[in-house]
Structure 1
Amino acid sequence: MKLLALDTSTEACSVALLNGNELLTLDEVCPQQHSKRVLPMVQQLLTDSGLSLAQLDGLVFGKGPGSFTGVRIGVGVAQGLAFGADLPVYGVSTLAAMAQAAYRQLQASQVLAAIDARMAEIYFGHYQLDANGLMQLQGQEQAVKPDQLAPLDSGKDFTAVGTGWQTYAEVLQQWQSAKSSDILYPSAQDMLPQARQAWDAGHFVAAEQAEPSYVRDTVSWQKLPGR
């Protein structure tokens, strides 16, 4: 199986290439530079692997949630590459990717993923490891004010991932028992386990069907006086 994954939904820009049992990855924290960096990173991995885009089986992209602009860049780049090489695509949640990283790095089985969503909110998801080693969403991903989150079972051993835990540390004290981690951003390599299962299940779609997941679909702006 040959899959290329990319994500630009947060401050990080990430690309991963799976070629059979070989995995190549590039991760950079480069705020507002994604549109300049992602294609050179893709080309570097293709060159290092000796593959062309047309030799791949499919493309995987981070579908969000995250920065509106970043999510759009990732979806757009994935669509453009897929159209050019006639490849199917599959989108993976950025929250799920961070949860998967917690399993890969820390063997975590219960993960609370929170990305700073600005506007005093976080993108939040609770994930649990299944029997196949994949993180599965419990309930729904949501854009929510941290102090409005419903309490979870305090008896479980949670691991916290994402920038939301740093930005709103005081508000999220209700989960002081959650183990902190160094996982702040999604990495494309952690989208591949879910993508492989999706490939086996026939869930990849044509490029024109690639859709983002903003979670927060509408943003209300308060007009300034006299505007």
Structure 2
Amino acid sequence: MNLLAIETATESCSVALLCGERIIARSELAPRRHAELLLPMCDAVLAEAGLARSALDGVAVGRGPGAFTGVRLAIAAAQGIALALDIAVVPVSSLAALALQAPPDDAAILAVIDARMGEIYAGTFRRGSDGLVTALGAESVGRAAELELPRAPAWNVIGSGWATYAPALRERLPAAPRWADAACHPQAADVAVLAAPLLRAGQGVPPEQALPVYLRDKVALTLAEQQAGRAAAKSPA
């Protein structure tokens, strides 16, 4: 099976090609350069594998949540490639792809991406016997201090949300994280790993049905909301 994967929901722009059991990947931390890098990365992994686009069996894509522009770019690119080749698209949660990078132990996994505006995108996962991750609940967006977690005795935490909101997130956990890494971003290689069994099972969708997941419909705070936030921050408790 030849599966091309795309993930641009965060600052990291990444592409991967699952070719049989081999994964060829490109990844770069490049805020605001995703549109410039994405298609050349696709061409590069195909060239390294010696494959034409026509040899692809499907396209996997990180569907978000994440930066609006990045999520839209990934979905549009996946749709365009799949439509041209008449192949299926497999949308994968960007939070699930992030969670797959956590240590392969029995701790529950909290994947958190900084959503700006004082909020985080969050998803909770458990690693299965197959090494993949399954969701423990619905993904959410909101304030770290208000995050609701399912019960679990131990947690691993991964993602940029930990860098910004670690103190608030610690208050939501039953104990200190067994492991935490704030420097990780969702990667196309992990999108490919999660998408491969779905494609094999015939669970890909037509390109037009591959839709982004934003979790919220607001890009930024208004000026009035920013001023109110600053005033609240200065007010005595």
Match of 2:121 in 1: 123
Aligned length: 221
Residues 174-214 of structure 1 show CA distances to partners (whole Å, capped at 9, x for unaligned) of 23511212552001111122212211221101111110011
Paired amino acid for 2:29 = V
Name 1:209's counterpart in structure 2: 209
SS in 1 for 2:71: helix
Of the structure 1 ranges 66-75 and 183-192, higher mean CA displacement relative to structure 2 is found in 183-192
Query: CA shift at 1:108, angstroms?
Result: 3.4
Q: TM-score, normalised by structure 2?
A: 0.88
Aligned to 1:164: 161
Aligned-residue sequence identity (percent) comes to 39
Question: Using a 3 Å threshold, how does the CA distance of structure 1 residues 44 and 151 change in structure 2: closer, same or farther?
Answer: closer
Structure 1: runs of 5 or more not aligned:
none
Computed over aligned residues only, the root mean square deviation of the Cα atoms, in angstroms, reads 1.8
Q: Note if contact 1:5-1:15 (Cα within 8 Å) is conserved in structure 2.
A: yes
- SS of the residue corresponding to residue 139 of structure 1 reads coil
- Residue 151 to residue 137, structure 1, CA distance change in 2 (3 Å): closer
1:56-67 correspondence to structure 2 within 5 Å = 56-67=56-67
Q: Give the conservation status (yes or no) of the 8 Å contact 2:89–2:206.
A: yes
* Structure 1 match to 2:17: 17
Task: Give 3-state SS (helix, strand or coil) of 2:100's partner.
Answer: helix
Provide the C-alpha distance between the structure 2 equivalents of 1:210 and 1:34, rounded to a whole number of angstroms: 20
Is 1:92 matched with 2:92? yes
How far apart, CA to CA, are the structure 2 residues paired with 1:151 and 1:199?
A: 30
CA–CA separation in structure 2 for the residues paired with 1:92 and 1:217: 20
Runs of 5+ unmatched residues, structure 2: 226-237
Determine if contact 2:118/2:143 at 8 Å carries over to the other structure.
yes
What one-letter code is carried by the residue in structure 2 that aligns with 1:177? A
Per-residue Cα deviation, 1:116-144 (whole angstroms, up to 9, x for no partner):
00110000011001232220111100001
TM-score by length of 1: 0.91
> Equivalents in 1 of 2:149, 2:125: separation in Å?
15
